[in-house]
Amino acid sequence: MDKFRIAVAEGDGIGPEVVAEAIKVLDEIASRFNHEFVYEKVYIGGIAVDKFDDPLPDSEVEKILSCDALFFGAVGGPKWDNLPRQKRPETGMLKIRKALGDFANLRPAKVFDELVDASTLKPEVVQGIDILVVRELIGGIYFGQPKGIVEEDGIKKGINTMVYTEPEIERIVRLAFELAMQRRKKLTSVDKANVLDVSQLWRDVVDRVAKDYPEVEYNHLLVDNAAMQLVRNPKQFDVIVTGNIFGDILSDEASMLTGSIGMLPSASIGGNVGMFEPIHGSAPDIAGLGIANPIAQIESAAMMLKYDFKLDKEAEIIEKAVDMVLKMGYRTPDIMSEGKRKVNTQQMGDLIAKTIGDVE
């Protein structure tokens, strides 16, 4: 029997609701394939602020570092929005990403055939889309110094700084080229090199690294154009590699090609312990209503099995079960369309867990 220790941070808002459904699916996999998943509850975000007055206490970091993976819901909410920056839930999340050293955040945006009608874009634009956004996760403007709000001569000034070193760029770009080699061998690097020096360095590094991957067809796009191209002609994209803030924004945009942000999982890798979370936030507007889509969280569990535990077959079974449940016509409200069967968060989790046993 294989044993894996998983640190579970449910976080805030819809976090606990969707994590509970993903755990159901993991338990089903464990019992069918004779694995043991041991869950270690950890506190990050608003829930940790309430309990410890700290969005990421050292004790939680230690616990996570002793586990094989971190399975994460989402953090944040209006209750904590006016706290000083150091105490905000989001600061805890940024700190744990940095502490784990997970520099690469993989965000696949794949359109299920059954959900073509759920997208706000025309079916012919979104059908067959399979994009992988490779977002740099522990550098760039979310971490650069100096930062803060200072007052000079009675005038307040807000400062953030976008910094990337050459090695930081090279490691994420190289990984993106490697991933492109395993896919359709197309890579688009997104930057703002017409304005930002940090982006010029990014572009120079991409051009240099590209020489080691002659089979990969690559291009550069400025981020404003990339945002437009994602809705104009998303099928032109295979792998998109970009920095922290551009990747954050473009992946939320890409999620709407698939029908809902509730569909997009992610894997953060490259460090000591991998971290697996949906791309969405804590969705305070629907928290507690039982209507959140748990598929992004469930697919994040599949990514954990694949990328961290090397359980490729089990990961694929989860993906197939999701596909089958969608084919049966079940939909949470965010992906609902005419003639389909509306279900709530728990029902969707139950259906996917139950369907695991029916996957061929």
Ligand X SMILES: NC(=O)C1=CN([C@@H]2O[C@H](COP(=O)(O)OP(=O)(O)OC[C@H]3O[C@@H](n4cnc5c(N)ncnc54)[C@H](O)[C@@H]3O)[C@@H](O)[C@H]2O)C=CC1
Q: Give the C-alpha distances (Å, rounded to integers) separating 35 from 4, 8, 29, 31.
A: 8, 17, 8, 7
Q: Which does 129 bind (CB under 5 to 8 A by kind): Mg ion, ligand X, ligand COI, none?
A: none
Catalytic site residues? Answer: 142, 192, 224, 248, 252
Q: Is 2 within any annotated ligand binding site?
A: no
- One-letter amino acid for residue 315 of the chain: A
- CA distances 45 to 74, 95, 99, Å, are 8, 10, 15
Q: Which of 341, 336, 335 is nearest to 256 (CA)?
A: 335
CB 118 within 8 A of CB 281: no
- Applying CB under 6 A, does 279 fall inside the site for ligand COI? yes
Q: Is 135 in the site for ligand X (CB under 6 A)?
A: no
Q: Which stretch binds Mg ion (CB under 5 A): 2-10, 11-19, 92-100, 244-252?
A: 244-252
Nearest to ligand X of 88, 203 (CB atom): 88
Nearer Cβ to ligand X (18/351): 18
The contact pattern for ligand X, residues 260-289, with x = CB under 6 A and - = no contact, is xxx--------------x--xxxxxxx---
Q: Is 57 helix (H, G, I), strand (E, B) or coil?
A: coil
Is 141 strand, coil or helix? helix
Binding mask 219-258 for ligand COI (x = CB under 6 A): -----------------------------x----------
Residue whose C-beta lies closest to ligand COI:
90
Question: Minimum distance from CB of 102 to ligand X (Å)?
Answer: 13
Q: DSSP E strands: which ranges in 255-334?
A: 267-269, 274-276, 330-331
Interface residue with ligand X among 22, 25, 47, 74 (CB under 6 A) is 74
Contact 172, 104 (CB under 8 A): yes
| Cα–chain center distance at 230 | 18
19 lies in the site for ligand X, by CB under 6 A: no
Of 144, 263, 242, the closest CA to residue 191 belongs to: 242
Residues placed in the known binding site for Mg(2+): 224, 248, 252
Residues placed in the known binding site for NAD(+): 77-90, 281-293
Q: Where does this chain bind ligand COI (CB under 6 A)?
A: 90, 93-94, 248, 279
